């Protein structure tokens, strides 16, 4: 796994990236599979930055036979169109009549069959868990692998008005063994001034032994077909690789909470001229939160949190359009899944600030002393009265109290305002956000994005 060369402040330990942060070749939506087998990107230089320069260099570095054959057939922004101001923003292709949407599933290789995975069914959920736990995203050096819990999967895949038919498995006909998986969940995402019904595509995973079978492209087409059957024509997804064409490119930052363990398992290393004891002191946090009125979110807070969040997210070019049902599902605390805290004014009892993070542990591979890396991921945070630095420091304190080893955050929204000050270190790679069948004329800065995909 590549080392994080840029250390956090004060000669801190530098972080390698865990699975799902940019150190892994692929992220969330695209696991190590065959959907874009020949896509490679050259290193970024200091003089060449930005999505357009990166995309052009990627395209120039690939021969005609090695370009993104699958994605060039899809209604997504294409590299050749970058900088073309004549192209309109909005849908790339218009919806087709539902009667013209393909009614039958796409053909799989003869020995495989489609399977709709009911995440409310315990045995099926356990099958999905096992497939992901053994075959989903790993870091480049095979030291860590995502370990989504069954409770997390049920939360992630069953939001309000979800479609069971969008939880798609591939099984071996003879044995019924689950060997591949892809999902979509419905979302309303505001793009500038338009609220668009979309699918959020996630958990594309193909069994390690089947990565030469070209299953991923047909799985992407099949989930697209099922989304179209619900009269939804746009989607959002992320990947750690450059595909045609990112709407923005973000970076994960990592804040050590348990630096000794992180160094012991190879996630971090001691910084130059640093000892273990100095590193532990550097990352030490107060024993309790400091903000008056800081408390765990409760069901009664849903209306106030919804108002706070909608007001905050309105300033970003792309952001979810949450209503109270969404906030209750996505942000009401669930043990070992999502944690949310708010600030209630002791005087007025007004809810003024909000912070949240979700729990995504990773399996630690081939380590005699540790088997799980507990990682918290920053979710949605709103600061109106409490300074963002203070609010997020309290979030770090409660994450530490709950036994997390590391706190991760993307540089989206206003997160850049606290990362360096709170001793986060930058990860190794990048996370690219994509919209399917929706064109933005110009790429966004990470700070213009108000969307966090699981």
Positions annotated as catalytic residues are: 454
3-state helix, strand, coil in the chain (%, to 5): 25, 25, 50
Query: How many angstroms separate the Cα of 133 from the Cα of each of 19, 27, 150?
Result: 12, 14, 10
Contact yes or no for 57/89 (Cβ under 8 A): no
DSSP string, 332-379: S-BTTTEEEEEEE-TTT--EEEEEEEEE--EEETT-SS-SEE-EEEE-
DSSP string, 376-425: EEE---EESSS-HHHHHHHHHHHHHHTT-SEEEEES-TTGGGTTTTTT-E
DSSP string, 247-293: SEEE-EEEEESSHHHHHHTTSEEPPTT--HHHHHHHT---SS--STT
Please give the radius of gyration of the chain, using alpha carbons only, rounded to the nearest integer.
22
Q: What distance in Å separates the CA atoms of residue 100 and residue 102, rounded to the nearest whole number? A: 6
Report the largest interatomic distance among the alpha carbons of the chain, rounded to a whole angstrom.
68
End-to-end CA distance of the chain: 23
Residue with tokens 């995975």: 117
């Amino acid at each position: 796994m590549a080392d994080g060369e840029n250390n956090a402040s004060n000669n801190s330990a530098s972080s390698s990236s865990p699975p799902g942060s940019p150190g892994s070749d692929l992220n969330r939506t695209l696991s190590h599979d065959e959907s874009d087998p020949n896509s490679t990107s050259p290193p970024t230089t200091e003089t060449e930055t930005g999505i357009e320069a990166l995309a052009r260099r990627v395209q120039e570095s690939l021969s005609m036979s090695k370009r993104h054959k699958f994605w060039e057939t899809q209604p997504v922004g294409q590299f050749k169109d970058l900088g073309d101001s004549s192209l309109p923003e909005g849908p790339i292709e218009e919806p087709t009549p539902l009667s013209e949407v393909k009614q039958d599933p796409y053909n799989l290789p003869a020995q495989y069959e489609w399977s709709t995975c009911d995440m409310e069914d315990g045995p099926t959920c356990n099958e999905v868990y096992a497939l992901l736990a053994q075959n989903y995203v790993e870091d480049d050096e095979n030291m860590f692998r995502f370990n989504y819990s069954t409770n997390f999967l049920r939360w992630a895949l069953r939001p309000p008005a979800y479609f069971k038919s969008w939880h798609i498995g591939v099984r071996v006909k003879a044995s019924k063994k689950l060997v591949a998986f892809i999902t979509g969940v419905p979302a309303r995402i505001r793009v500038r001034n338009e609220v668009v019904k979309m699918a959020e595509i996630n958990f594309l995973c193909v069994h390690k032994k089947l990565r030469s079978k070209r299953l991923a492209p047909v799985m992407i087409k099949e989930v697209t077909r099922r989304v179209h059957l619900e009269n939804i024509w746009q989607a959002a997804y992320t990947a750690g690789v450059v595909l045609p064409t990112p709407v923005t490119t973000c970076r994960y930052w990592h804040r050590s909470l348990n630096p000794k363990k992180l160094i012991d398992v190879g996630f971090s290393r001691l910084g130059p001229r640093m000892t273990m004891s100095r590193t532990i002191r550097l990352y030490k946090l107060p024993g309790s939160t400091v903000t008056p009125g800081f408390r765990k979110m409760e069901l009664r807070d849903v209306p106030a949190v919804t108002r706070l969040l909608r007001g905050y997210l309105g300033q970003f070019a792309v952001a979810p359009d949450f209503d109270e049902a969404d906030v209750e599902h996505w942000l009401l605390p669930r043990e070992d899944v999502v944690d949310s805290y708010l600030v209630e004014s002791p005087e007025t009892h007004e809810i003024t600030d909000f912070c949240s993070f979700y729990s995504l542990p990773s399996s630690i591979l081939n380590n005699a002393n540790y088997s799980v890396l507990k990682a918290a991921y920053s979710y949605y945070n709103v600061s109106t009265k409490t300074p963002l630095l203070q609010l997020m420091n309290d979030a770090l304190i409660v994450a530490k109290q709950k036994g997390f080893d590391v706190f991760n955050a993307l540089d989206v929204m206003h997160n850049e305002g606290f990362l360096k000050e709170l001793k986060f270190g930058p990860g190794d790679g990048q996370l690219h956000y994509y919209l399917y069948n929706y064109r933005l004329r110009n790429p966004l800065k990470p700070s213009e994005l108000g969307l966090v995909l699981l």
